[in-house]
Amino acid sequence: MTRALFVIDIQNDFTEGGALGVAGGARVAQAVTDHLGGPRAVDYDVVVASRDWHDGNGDNGGHFSADPDYVTTWPVHCVRGTPGAEYHPALDVSAVDVHVRKGTGEPAYSLFEGRAEDGRSVPDVLAEHGVTEVDVVGLATDHCVRASALDAVAQGLRVRVLTDLVAGVAPGTTAAALDELRAAGVETVTAGEAS
């Protein structure tokens, strides 16, 4: 059994005060840091962290809009080279083994849609480490966490979402996303239950 941790989009623009800030985002950043380095730390074989990494010019394949619907179009966010695209300062990235960038010039929600900084695909990274199980944490539960967890299931992995290490945009869509994930075979547990 080889387990990976997926740290999804814990970026300044997705936390309080950011372009698409999620309530509880800063708390999640600190809680993930504690999960990786605290007294009850889980020993993962590989830690993979994703970031939205959008182009500053253009609409990134229709992803950005001046009149967003907040379903498929969004305000400008996480433009590469800007503070909004950087990891939240409470997230200690020293434990991250692989950094994945996604959404450059196109919409992207799942970590599997991105590439490691050295160009490797996420399935290649996981295969290199023999990963069979994945814990998923980060932002936002009802968007990129959801998409990443569903894609991990589709890859044949055993997947858990750590419910106290995620935060969603809205209570209704977050609950619906967790229901959808459970129906797809994803386990929803707390970090304490995962250790």
What are the contacts of 32-41 at 24+ separation with CB within 8 A? 32/7, 32/91, 32/137, 32/138, 32/165, 33/90, 33/91, 33/92, 35/137, 35/162, 35/165, 35/191, 36/5, 36/92, 36/95, 37/92, 37/95, 40/191, 40/192, 40/195, 41/195
Listed as own residue / partner, the contacts of 179-184 with beta carbons closer than 8 Å and 24 or more positions apart are: 180/146, 180/150, 181/146, 181/149, 181/150, 184/149, 184/150, 184/153
User: How far is residue 16's CA from residue 171's CA, in Å, rounded to a whole number?
Assistant: 16
Catalytic residue (one of 13, 102, 135, 142):
102
Clarify whether 9 is annotated catalytic.
yes
Catalytic residue among 52, 142, 144, 151: 144
78 as an active site residue: the answer is: no
Provide the annotated active-site residues: 9, 102, 144
